[in-house]
């Protein structure tokens, strides 16, 4: 019987690969990040958390494919469902977890993801949302969920996720999709920013009156105007702007009707 190259599995992902030497796991892609400040100094192992980030207590978790590949650690957190946002990532433990995958590589399918997360919340099931690195795609999906279900704006949702997963670094393409999704949820924001006292300006050639909340008023109150009329006013179609008075039929002075 052929012996394994190493007796014990990787302490991080649980698979057999030489992670101390920087070998990439052939199953989940896990590798131990290594950095060295100088050539003389020995390599220093950068600590990477084996656990996904808890976004909403006892419900929503965010992580990478590396996190999703550690079944035992997910079970210790009570996670039973997984939302895979990358079509190319394999679902490794179908017998142990309930998976749901998004099948579009370029477009974030917010509605599909939110529908699955809603069902998880209804069933009181803890769910992990992951992409390959846990930095861009899956955080964007989680931010979209927070905007839709918590009613938070994009800036608030992004800050919430960033505080709980500092490695979050959303790409410009996905951030633009988040902005479009925010606009679809809350509107463009133009109406809330508009002053309701700013009445539209009508182009009758009259200057705008300062400190006037209403629309254009053709009667100053003290000076009579040809446009002023009693309650039973003449319909607009019975007079015309710029109309000339009729020519007199007889000689003598002409009396203008000021009513």
pLDDT tens-place string over residues 101-138: 999 989 999 999 999 999 999 999 999 999 999 999 99
Answer whether 0.85 is exceeded by the pTM. no
> In the prediction, which pLDDT does 222 show?
52
pLDDT in tens, 213-245: 444 444 545 555 555 555 555 555 555 555 555
Cα end-to-end distance, the chain, whole Å? 115
Is 131 one of the annotated active-site residues of the chain? Answer: yes
Task: Using the predicted structure, report yes or no on whether residue 11 has a pLDDT greater than 80.
Answer: no
Q: In the prediction, which pLDDT does 43 show?
A: 45
Question: Mean pLDDT of all residues in the chain?
Answer: 75
Q: Where are the domains of the chain?
A: 7-34, 53-186
pLDDT value for 188 = 76
Query: Could you tell me the pLDDT band of residue 50, with boundaries at 50, 70 and 90?
Result: confident
Label each residue of the chain as H, E or C. Answer: CCCCCCCCCCCCCCCCCCHHHCCCCCCCCCCCCEECCCCCCCCEECCCCCCCEEEECCCEEEECHHHHCCHHHHHHCCEEEEEECCCCCCCCCCCCCEEEECCCCCCCCHHHHHHHHHHHHHCCCEEEEECCCCCCHHHHHHHHHHHHHHCCCHHHHHHHHHHHCCCCCCCHHHHHHHHHHHHHHHCCCHHHHCCCCCCCCCCCCCCCCCCCCCCCCCCCCCCCCCCCCCCCCCCHHHCCCCCCCCCCCCCCCCCCCCC
The pLDDT value recorded for residue 211 is: 43
Whether 63 shows a pLDDT value over 70: the answer reads yes
Q: Exactly one of 10, 13, 120, 131 is catalytic; which is it?
A: 131
Position 195 confidence tier, pLDDT thresholds 50, 70, 90: very low
Non-local CB neighbours of 59 within 8 Å, separated by 6+ positions: 120, 121, 126, 127
Predicted local confidence at residue 212, as pLDDT: 43
Instruction: Indicate the pLDDT class of residue 8, thresholds 50, 70 and 90.
Output: low
Q: What is the mean pLDDT of residues 157-162?
A: 98
Fold for 53-186, please state it. 3.90.190
CA 105 to chain centre: 18
Rounded Cα distance between 129 and 63, Å, is 6
Candidates 135, 132, 150, 180; CA nearest to 59 is 150
């Amino acid at each position: 019987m052929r012996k394994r190259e190493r007796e014990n599995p990787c302490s991080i992902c649980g698979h057999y690969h030489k992670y101390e030497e920087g070998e990439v796991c052939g199953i989940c892609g896990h590798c131990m990040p290594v950095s060295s400040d100088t050539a003389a100094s020995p390599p220093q192992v950068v600590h990477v958390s084996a656990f996904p980030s808890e976004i909403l207590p006892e419900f929503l978790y965010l992580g990478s494919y590396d996190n999703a590949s550690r079944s035992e650690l997910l079970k210790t957190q009570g996670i039973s469902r997984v939302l895979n946002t990358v079509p190319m990532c394999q679902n490794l433990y179908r017998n142990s977890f309930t998976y749901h995958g998004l099948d579009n590589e370029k477009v974030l399918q917010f509605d599909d993801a939110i529908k699955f997360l809603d069902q998880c919340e209804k069933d009181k099931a803890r769910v992990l949302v992951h992409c390959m690195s846990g930095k861009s795609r899956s955080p964007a999906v989680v931010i979209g969920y927070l905007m839709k279900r918590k009613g938070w704006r994009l800036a608030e949702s992004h800050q919430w996720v960033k505080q709980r997963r500092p490695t979050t670094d959303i790409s410009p393409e996905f951030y633009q999709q988040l902005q479009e999704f925010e606009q679809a949820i809350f509107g463009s924001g133009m109406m809330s920013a508009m002053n309701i006292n700013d009445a539209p300006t009508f182009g009758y050639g009259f200057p705008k009156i300062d400190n006037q909340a209403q629309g254009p008023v053709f009667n100053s109150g003290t000076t009579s105007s040809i446009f002023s009329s009693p309650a039973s006013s003449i319909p607009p179609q019975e007079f015309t702007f710029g109309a000339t008075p009729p020519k007199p039929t007889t000689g003598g002075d002409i009396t203008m009707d000021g009513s």
